[in-house]
Amino acid sequence: MRIRRVGQHAFQLTRFAALFPMNCYLVLEEDGATLVDSTTRSPAAEVARLCTEHGVALRRIALTHAHGDHVGGVAGVREAFPEVEIAIGARDARLLAGDKSTEPGEPQQPARGYFLTVSWTADRLLQPGDRVGSLEVVPAPGHTPGHVAFLDVRDRSLVAGDAYQTRGGIAVSGVLRPLFPFPALATWDKPSALATARALLELRPARLATGHGDVLESPAAAMRGAIEMAERVFSKAR
């Protein structure tokens, strides 16, 4: 895996960086570390090395959403760190259990994308405004019904999962980028994704860390441009 430093508090770990980049993030805390997402296979060896180098223990896994390229490595991490707490948004926890039914008030189409049958259950179901260490849980539906993002309140780093992508050019979830079309193809509801993109911009993040692609520093202009593109693309599709 490729490993890059992200600001003062985190590392980006990227599997298949050259062809199909899948990111997870190790966030250092005073009481240990939090792993955000996990790619398709366990990053336990790299996580253990980073934790040892920085004198911390892995305490938590926090998941942005239930797609297999974000949750697939969880089982291996838990095997290596049996005491780690696993947390996911309460809505997407249903997808982990194979339940793709919709809720009243939601767009009435099933979730799309790659889902796994997992051998574990979440220890904690997250709600908007909860905290996972220094990470504030931000609702970010659209790519999946219960997608969440995590805002580090110390430096305003935003781990956005697939609410945005930066691989193949920055894009709001649901906007197809020919060089990396996969997040768009797995997006559940485009209007919700656009509303989420606008809400995340309003958080004024200092950097944008996505599930696919490089981290963007001072991302406001790029995020605004991606939103404007999504508005044009989605309006033509109506």
Quote the pLDDT of residue 236: 78
**pLDDT tens digits along 86-127:** 999 999 999 998 999 999 999 999 999 999 989 999 999 999
Angle at the Cα of 16 from the Cα atoms of 10 and 20, rounded to 5 degrees: 105
Average pLDDT, the chain: 96
Quick: pLDDT tens for 27-46. 999 999 999 999 999 999 99
**Number of domains the chain contains:** 1
Are the CB atoms for 226 and 198 separated by under 8 Å? no
Closest by Cα among 18, 23, 99 to 63:
23
Tokens of 215: 């981290």
pLDDT category at 238 given cuts 50, 70, 90 is low
What CATH number is attached to the domain comprising 122?
3.60.15.10
Rounded to an integer, the average pLDDT of 59-74 is: 98
Predicted TM-score (pTM) of the model is 0.96
| Distance in angstroms (rounded) separating the CA atoms of residues 96 and 26 | 22
- Higher-pLDDT residue of 238, 118: 118
Mean pLDDT of the region 63-69 = 98
| pLDDT average, residue stretch 209-236 | 96
DSSP character string of 172-190: ETT---TTS-HHHHT-S-H
Q: Which domain, by its residues, includes 48?
A: 2-236
Q: What is the DSSP letter of 135?
A: E
Tens of pLDDT, residues 159-209: 999 999 999 999 999 999 999 999 999 999 999 999 999 999 999 999 999
Q: Give every CB contact of residue 218 below 8 A, 6+ residues apart in sequence.
A: 206, 207
211: closest CA among 75, 69, 115, 8?
69
Contact of 136 with 153, CB cutoff 8 Å: yes
